[in-house]
Amino acid sequence: MTYALETRGLCKRFGAIQVTRNVDLKVEQGARHALIGPNGAGKTTFVNLCTGMLKPSEGAILLNGKEITGVSPQRRVGNGLVRTFQINTLFNALTVAENLAIPTAQRLGKSWLPWGKTSHSAEVVTEVAKLLDELHLLPLADKKISDLAYGQRRLVEIAIALALKPQVLLLDEPAAGIPNGESGMILDLLERLPQDISIVFIEHDMNLVFRFAKKITVLVEGAVLTEGTPAEIRGDQRVRDVYLGRRHHG
Ligand SMILES: Nc1ncnc2c1ncn2[C@@H]1O[C@H](COP(=O)(O)OP(=O)(O)OP(=O)(O)O)[C@@H](O)[C@H]1O
């Protein structure tokens, strides 16, 4: 079986500190795969290893069966492995459509200067409108990022990653900072994503995790504690112990 994304024996050490321990993760095609674990479990480090922002100390990363361990972060994006960007990478003075035009133009190999109307490419404009429509975000198209509510900015972040046409999308805490009870707007968007995109997401909002994930991997102290379906993870006493703050010894 060829996995959309796979890691084999992935390890990361910062000097004497081992942050990722022998992680074998298999992300199936079209997955809705959550990576959970307490603070400091190594989730963000794992994502950074997958995207190439960090170099592993040992192990291999495969995208659709092809090893990408030594491939640059930019080429990984070109190969279809995309992560969400943090909010502070949005251009506040530009509109939502203009923010989306930048990665769309990049993917289509066109230049895009929002302030130079003559450089507007019809293809970019059409693609942006199509994406906004698919995500039900057309009403936000002409709003400046600075005028959006926090949760809406998080939606734009995901849209920007989608503009790069990912095969594997890594979402780093899509609902972080969104007030309790409002994460529904993120779930609505996630549920509208094309089924053929394989999604790996880190999230602390367990409500969102249990509603969206089909498979959950639990990381503790840099290693995989266990993985399974939401029902299996919900019923696992070791997972409960970890979240209640008791150390795991088995
Ligand atoms: N550059 C670094 N040098 C040394 N230690 C690091 C470095 N980056 C991360 N760590 C350590 O690695 C551990 C895992 O951090 P990481 O941010 O990956 O965890 P996390 O599971 O994403 O946590 P959180 O849920 O709080 O975001 C932490 O103890 C952190 O202090």
Name the residue among 158, 154, 159, 162 with its Cα closest to residue 197: 162
Express each pLDDT in 58-95 by its tens digit.
999 999 999 999 999 999 999 999 998 666 678 899 99
**Judging by DSSP bridges, how do beta strands 81-83 and 168-172 pair with one another?**
parallel
Secondary structure of residue 48 in the 3-state scheme = helix
In a domain, 144, yes or no: yes
Percent with pLDDT over 70 in the chain: 91
Mean pLDDT of 45-61: 97
Secondary structure of residue 239 in the 3-state scheme = helix
Q: Both 93 and 163 in a single domain?
A: yes
Mean pLDDT of 5-14: 98
Q: How many domains does the chain have?
A: 2
Report yes or no: 213 and 28 within 8 Å, Cβ to Cβ. no
Q: Both 62 and 114 in a single domain?
A: no
Residue 108: CATH number of its domain: 3.40.50.300
Q: For position 86, what pLDDT does the model report? A: 60
Question: What are the residues facing 95 on neighbouring strands?
Answer: 144
Q: Both 63 and 104 in a single domain?
A: no
Mean pLDDT of 115-130: 76
In a domain, 139, yes or no: yes
Percent with pLDDT over 90 in the chain: 73
Query: What tokens appear for 102 in the block?
Result: 């930048």
**209 CA to middle of ligand 1, Å?**
21
Mark which of 143, 168, 193 sits at the end of a domain: 168
9: number of Cβ within 10 Å:
12
User: pLDDT category, 164, cuts 50, 70, 90?
Assistant: very high
In a domain, 160, yes or no: yes
Indicate the top mutation candidate among 10, 18, 21, 43 to test ligand 1's pocket, ranked by most ligand atoms within 8 A of CB.
43
Q: For position 88, what pLDDT does the model report? A: 67
State the alpha helices, DSSP H only, in the chain.
43-51, 73-78, 96-108, 122-134, 150-163, 184-191, 206-212, 230-234, 237-243
**Judging by DSSP bridges, how do beta strands 198-202 and 168-172 pair with one another?**
parallel
Query: What tokens appear for 59 in the block?
Result: 């192990």
User: What's the CA angle centered on 62, arms 43 and 79, to 5 degrees?
Assistant: 95
- Report whether residue 23 contacts ligand 1, using a CB cutoff of 6 Å: no
| Structural domain harbouring 4 | 1-25+57-67
The 17-27 sheet, strands edge to edge: 17-27, 5-14, 58-63, 66-67
* Spatial separation of the C-alpha atoms in residues 218 and 223, rounded to whole Å: 8
In a domain, 112, yes or no: yes
Mean pLDDT of 149-173: 93
- Report whether residue 27 contacts ligand 1, using a CB cutoff of 6 Å: no
Asked whether the predicted pLDDT for residue 246 surpasses 60, the reply is no
- Report whether residue 39 contacts ligand 1, using a CB cutoff of 6 Å: yes
Residue type at 172?
D
Q: What does the mean pLDDT of the chain come to?
A: 90
**In this predicted model, which residue has the larger pLDDT, 116 or 94?**
94
**In this predicted model, which residue has the larger pLDDT, 173 or 114?**
173
Look at ligand 1, atom 10, and give the residue with the nearest C-alpha.
19
User: pLDDT category, 250, cuts 50, 70, 90?
Assistant: very low
Look at ligand 1, atom 25, and give the residue with the nearest C-alpha.
39
The one-character DSSP state at 119 is G
Q: Both 1 and 61 in a single domain?
A: yes
- Report whether residue 55 contacts ligand 1, using a CB cutoff of 6 Å: no
In a domain, 214, yes or no: no
Express each pLDDT in 167-216 by its tens digit.
999 999 998 888 877 788 899 999 999 999 999 999 988 989 999 999 99
In a domain, 3, yes or no: yes
The one-character DSSP state at 247 is P
- Predicted TM-score (pTM) above 0.95: no
